[in-house]
Amino acid sequence: MFLQVINYASNTSAGAECIDPDCSWVEHWVHRAGPRKEIYYEPEEVKAAIVTCGGLCPGLNDVIRQIVFTLEIYGVKNIVGIQFGYRGFFEKGLKEMPAMELHFGFNLQLSRDVVENINLAGGSFLGVSRGGAKTSEIVDSIQARRIDMLFVIGGNGSHAGANAIHEECRKRKLKVSVVAVPKTIDNDILFMDKTFGFDTAVEEAQRAINSAYIEARSAYHGVGLVKLMGRSTGFIAMHASLSSGQIDVCLIPEVSFTLDGEHGVLSHLEHLLETKGFCVVCVAEGAGQDLLQKSNATDASGNVILSDFGVHMQQKIKKHFKDIGVLADVKYIDPTYMVRACRANASDAILCTVLGQNAVHGAFAGFSGITSGICNTHYAFLPITEVITTPKHVNPNSRMWHRCLTSTGQPDFH
């Protein structure tokens, strides 16, 4: 699967390419990541820029830090940070100003001294923002500032943006390497074993789950409900449920379920309250979207549209137990921001270190339009176009999901 031949010469729109036409990229579209014998740039003349896009994710600062360290090891002197995502390229007042302190407190000229300890705090030292993919303006800015390498740390949308920048640079014959590092706390990037921040998120989610468990167990007919991240995928919910060992029901986007009826979730919760006295439920934010649409469709009273399955679930549970006249003490926890804003744990710190180092190796090798990941246990460069086609999903037939079901003891909700 990883050996599909792409022909750089004949298929320039097929994604990643090597600025150097002799590069072996033309033969394989996945390359083992790491340093190359020959480098494409003269380090002392390189101007490199780093930008972080989208929402927060544990490890952003680790990746920034490692890119700076590795650039310096190559000998690069001119490294700048772009503030607040792509917005920093074109928005007035956010332009890169070397050796100056913005009123936001950021010194945009980056060096080892500046980034030495940024990994000790969560968030993004450079600031993030969503959207703003005005490709043409961004490339104007890249050209004006004579940037040679652009490192984009971001999710699916930002990868698409990075690829558009890469292509626009090609079109304009600019020798700019655009190298991405996938940032998605949801772990939903195709071909990637794991994305940074995921492990930390699962770890930090334990805190919320344990609180829900304590609240539920300490209450008479307590129901703990925890909503975790995962718009289209249930990796965080599944792993967090499995590692906690305290979850009775785990609901994810990939596995459909009914709430009502004899075999629905609510009926199972009744059973748990009767037999066990309490229960704890974990839902991915993107679970049960079909149910949300239905409920909106049938809702004639003009209520606000529910955009959040966690809140919906909370209301459904409360209503159900009220309707059947059984006491249920529901406690809802949404730890999203507290999970996102964490610093990376040790395992993610290593992943970020390697991904950051490899991103720089890739740029110096002359690659552009690539992203740095771990793929089938090997660190690799992949063409951006390939990884953004579709998100990775939990396979409902996988052993991991079955282990999760064994751990929760939940039945099939149909």
Q: Report the site for a copy of itself in 332-371 (rule: CB under 8 A).
A: 333-335, 337-338, 340-342, 345-347, 349-350, 353-354, 357
> Nearest approach, Cβ of 377 to a copy of itself (angstroms)?
6
> Is 49:150 a contact under the CB 8 Å cutoff?
yes
Other CB atoms within a 10 A radius of the CB of residue 106 amount to: 20
Site string for a copy of itself, 176-215 (x = CB under 8 A): -----------------------x--xx-xxxx-xxx-xx
Provide, rounded to whole angstroms, the least separation between the CB of residue 359 and a copy of itself. Answer: 14
Please provide the distance, in angstroms rounded to a whole number, between the alpha carbons at the two ends of the chain. 35
Q: Which residues contact 204 (CB under 8 A, 6 or more apart)?
A: 58, 335, 338, 339, 342
Give the H/E segment covering residue 353: helix 346-364
Report the alpha-carbon distance of residue 371 to residue 359 in Å, rounded: 7
Q: Is residue 412 annotated as part of the catalytic site, yes or no?
A: no
**Residue 190 in contact with residue 389, Cβ under 8 Å?**
yes
Shortest gap between Cβ of 181 and a copy of itself (angstroms)?
Answer: 16
241 vs 385, which CB is nearer to a copy of itself?
Answer: 241
Q: How far is the CB of 295 from a copy of itself (least distance, A)?
A: 17
What is the footprint of a copy of itself within residues 297-336 (CB under 8 A)? 329, 331, 333-335
From 42-50, 133-141, 366-374, 400-408, give the range in contact with a copy of itself by CB under 8 A. 400-408
Q: Does residue 407 interact with a copy of itself by CB under 8 A?
A: yes
Q: 340 by DSSP, 3-state: which?
A: helix
In whole angstroms, how close is the CB of 172 to a copy of itself at the nearest point?
Answer: 28
Query: Among residue numbers 228 through 267, which ones bind a copy of itself (CB under 8 A)?
Result: 239-240, 242-245
Residue 132 and residue 400: Cα distance in Å, rounded?
38
Among positions 109-168, residues that touch a copy of itself (CB under 8 A) are 113, 116-117, 119-124, 127-129
Taking the C-alpha atoms of residue 373 and residue 393, their distance in angstroms, rounded to an integer, is: 17
Nearer to a copy of itself, 275 or 397 (CB): 275
Beta bridge partners of 281: 225, 249
Q: Which of 230, 155, 161 is nearest to 195 (CA)?
A: 155
Place of tokens 């718009």: 231
Q: How far is the CB of 331 from a copy of itself (least distance, A)?
A: 5
Buried b (16+ CB within 10 A) or exposed e, 38-77: ebbbebeebbbbbbbbbbbbbbbbbbbbbbbbbbbebebe
Count of residues engaged in binding a copy of itself, rule: CB under 8 A: 77
Catalytic residue among 62, 186, 248, 334: 186
- Select the residue interacting with a copy of itself from 4, 10, 13, 275 (CB under 8 A): 275
Give the per-residue contact string, 61-100, with a copy of itself (x = CB under 8 A; - = no): -x--xx---x--x----------xx-x------x------
Q: Which of residues 214-233 bind a copy of itself (CB under 8 A)?
A: 214-215, 217-220
Cα–Cα distance measured from residue 178 to residue 173, given in angstroms and rounded to the nearest whole number: 13
Q: At what angle do helices 346-364 and 60-74 cross, to 10 degrees?
A: 40
* Alpha carbon separation from 148 to 48, 51, 79, 139, 307 (Å, rounded): 6, 14, 10, 11, 42
Which of 10, 298, 377, 397 binds a copy of itself (CB under 8 A)? It is: 377
> Between 199 and 285, whose beta carbon lies closer to a copy of itself?
199
Instruction: List binders of a copy of itself among 3-62 (CB under 8 A).
Output: 34, 56, 62
- Which residue lies nearer to a copy of itself by CB, 222 or 383? 222
Active-site residue set: 186
